[in-house]
Amino acid sequence: MDRRVVSIGNFRELARENVQILKRTDASEKFATITYLRECFYGPEATTGRLQRVYTIFKR
């Protein structure tokens, strides 16, 4: 992810540009972006820990 690039435009143009960028990236770059966003929203413990298991019990 290059933070030095700034794009100015309307929402449709930026959305179209984002789709084109995602098509060009490989799986490891996509995973790195997802990891970065998880750390931004949930903190570093979101990416270093394990996923929480949730059990649902229901009657038949």
For 24, the domain range is: 1-60
- Residue 7: pLDDT band with limits 50, 70, 90: low
User: What integer is the mean pLDDT of 25-43?
Assistant: 90
Q: Report the number of distinct structural domains present in the chain.
A: 1
- Residue 2: pLDDT band with limits 50, 70, 90: low
Query: Nearest CA to 9 among 32, 20, 26?
Result: 20
CB atoms within 10 A of CB 59: 3
Q: How far is residue 27 from each of residues 15, 24, 33, measured CA to CA in Å?
A: 20, 10, 10
CA distance 33 to 39: 10
More confident site: 48 or 13: 13
- Residue 50: pLDDT band with limits 50, 70, 90: low
